[in-house]
Amino acid sequence: MPLYEYVCGGCNARFEVLQRVGAGASEIACPKCGGREVVKQHSTFASAVAGTGGAGTMPCGASSASSCGSGGFS
């Protein structure tokens, strides 16, 4: 299950909820004030790729992204 970020319309608290994909905010209450006027936020995610280069290197083993090539991304 993914972790979603919400913000409370009552107290502006930001919090995270582990919930099913596609589930709405209707079941969510703010943990700070108990308010139900919460809005799901757009957020980014972080990931880690195991490589052979050790800490501080890119997945291709290079020390910078410019050395890895495009990798299919533009």
What does the pLDDT look like over 18-57, one tens digit per residue?
Answer: 988 888 888 899 999 999 999 999 877 667 766 555 555 5
Q: Domain range holding 31?
A: 1-43
Give me the DSSP letters along 33-52: T----EEEPP---------S
pLDDT band at 14 (very low <50, low <70, confident <90, very high): very high
Does residue 33 lie in a domain region? yes
Does residue 29 lie in a domain region? yes
CA distances from 65 to 48, 49, 72, 74 (A): 15, 14, 13, 13
Does residue 4 lie in a domain region? yes
Does residue 52 lie in a domain region? no
Does residue 72 lie in a domain region? no
Task: State how many domains the chain has.
Answer: 1
Any idea what the CATH number is for the domain that residue 2 is in? 2.20.28
Burial class (CB in 10 A: 0-12, 13-18, 19+), 5: middle
- Classified as helix, coil or strand, 17 is strand
Does residue 69 lie in a domain region? no
Asked if residue 74 has pLDDT above 50, the reply is no
